[in-house]
Amino acid sequence: MPSEGKPQPIDTAVITGPGDVPTTDLRLLADRRERHTTGITSKGVNGDRARDVIAALALGAAIRRVLDDQEQNLIREGLRHGATWEQLAGALGVVDPAEARRAFTSWSQQLPENEATEALRIAGDGPNQ
C-alpha cells in the first residue's frame, strides 16, 4: 500500500539501484520493498517481475545501509555512555568484541575529521584515551 494521502517520492520513484531511493525512512522503504516482493509472486508479465526483483534488491541494499549507519551511531552513543566492547558485541550478536571494534573504527574513518577523531578517541583507538 502506498503512503497514505499525497504520494511520497518513494511511491513514484523508479528504483533500479540503491542510489534511486529517495528516503531513509525505514518504514517507507520496507513498505515499498514488500510491494515489490509481492509483485514478484503475483501474476503478470516477466518484464514487470524483473523490475520488481531489481527494485526489491535495491531497496534491500538501501535498508541495510541505513541500518548499518544507525548501528554505528548507536555504538558511538553506547561508548559515550560507558558501554563496554563486550556489551556492544553481545548486543550485536558478535562473539569477538575486537570484531565490533574493528568495524566501528573502519566506519569512523569515513566521518568528517573532527567526528572521526572523537569516534576513535571514545573507541580507545585515538589520542587522549
**pLDDT tens digits for range 36-62:** 998 887 766 566 788 899 999 999 999
- 3-state secondary structure labels for all residues of 5-35: CCCCHHHHCCCCCHHHCCCCCHHHHHHHHHH
- pLDDT per residue as tens digits for the range 56-108: 999 999 999 999 999 999 999 999 999 999 999 999 999 999 999 999 999 99
Chain centre to alpha carbon of residue 10: 16
Round to whole Å and give the CA distance between 47 and 57.
15
